[in-house]
Amino acid sequence: MAPKPEPEEEAPDESWMATFADMVTLLMAFFVMLLNFSKIDIPMFQEAAAGIANEIGMGKDAANPVTAMQEAFEDVVAEMQADQVVDVQTDEEGNITIELASAAFYKSGSADFRAQAIPVLQKIGELLNAPRYMAYQLEIAGHTDDDPIKTAKFPSNWELSTGRAASIIRYFITLGMDHRRMKAAGYADTRPKYPNRDKDGNPIKENQLENRRIFMTATPMSLQERAQIFGDAKYGLVQQKMGEATEEEIKGSKVAPSTLTGLPKKEE
């Protein structure tokens, strides 16, 4: 009698390996992030976390800090009816940028504010100084066109552009903003948005008008910068305040709408 054939061996079930590999990869990513957490910029981390939460469907209402900040500034600009002379955007690095038309905010050839511009600057400064945004630093840069200026106070466009930027910093300081969060820069006519002149050398007035501007950039501080400004103990309180900020704190007190939109955009 012939012996019974041995049963064929069944191939091992390895379907669990895909799940196991995914779990190991996630754990590795988690510990790498944990190891390097001291080097992570908190606002940028929060933005990335919100994006991940939205992508995987775990937090459809997760707030993107940059988007929320941009919307807050846009609300302020709309409330003040200044949308024609104030432009709020985000740059390629995810920083908030605020562009002010110089003709609407300054007297011609001067770093003195127009009276109608002060309420708008006040609202912008109060928002930047709200607890939620205390860990952002601010660079304010002045730009001019290429028409030369020569006065006792401003011998050239370098002094005018820098003086206009510095005047905003001085005003924000009067609102209680920490001066260590801010810096001023003046670029004169070296970084125009549009050509100041045509191919024949004639001035293009519309372009010159656009080139006269103030450009603010709000950038989240690194952990080291925050510790230097606020101190280790105070930094913990700042973080707590950032988390507890309410809508009322962010918007601040009500100010009557400005008449900036009624100002001539062209300097005299």
Q: What is the CATH number of the domain that holds 185?
A: 3.30.1330.60
CA 90 from chain center: how many Å? 6
In a domain, 9, yes or no: no
pLDDT at 237 over 60: no
Note the pLDDT of residue 20: 80
In a domain, 149, yes or no: yes
pLDDT at 243 over 90: no
Q: What is the total count of domains within the chain?
A: 1
Average pLDDT of the chain, as a whole number: 81
Check residues 228 and 240 and name the one with the higher pLDDT: 228
DSSP, residue by residue, 216-254:
EEEEEPPHHHHHHHH-HHHHHHHHHHHHH--HHHHH-S-
In a domain, 242, yes or no: yes
In a domain, 61, yes or no: no
What tokens does 266 get?
A: 């062209």
Mean pLDDT of 60-64: 56
In a domain, 14, yes or no: no
Model confidence pLDDT, tens digit, residues 1-52: 566 666 666 667 777 777 888 888 888 887 777 666 544 455 555 555 555 5
In a domain, 73, yes or no: no
Q: Is 117 left (phi over 0), alpha (psi -120 to 50) or beta?
A: alpha
Note the pLDDT of residue 128: 94
Strand ranges inside the chain, DSSP E: 86-90, 96-101, 136-143, 182-186, 213-220
Model confidence pLDDT, tens digit, residues 138-169: 999 999 999 999 999 999 999 999 999 999 99
Model confidence pLDDT, tens digit, residues 184-229: 999 999 999 999 999 999 999 999 999 999 999 999 988 888 888 8
What tokens does 101 get?
A: 């038309």
In a domain, 90, yes or no: yes
Note the pLDDT of residue 259: 52
What tokens does 94 get?
A: 């995810």
Note the pLDDT of residue 64: 75
Residue 132 DSSP symbol: G
pLDDT at 247 over 50: no
Burial class of residue 176 (count of CB atoms within 10 Å of its CB; 0-12, 13-18, 19+): exposed
DSSP, residue by residue, 137-152:
EEEEEEE--SS----S
Note the pLDDT of residue 94: 86
In a domain, 184, yes or no: yes
Note the pLDDT of residue 51: 59
- Domain of residue 113 covers 86-254
Q: Model-level pTM?
A: 0.70
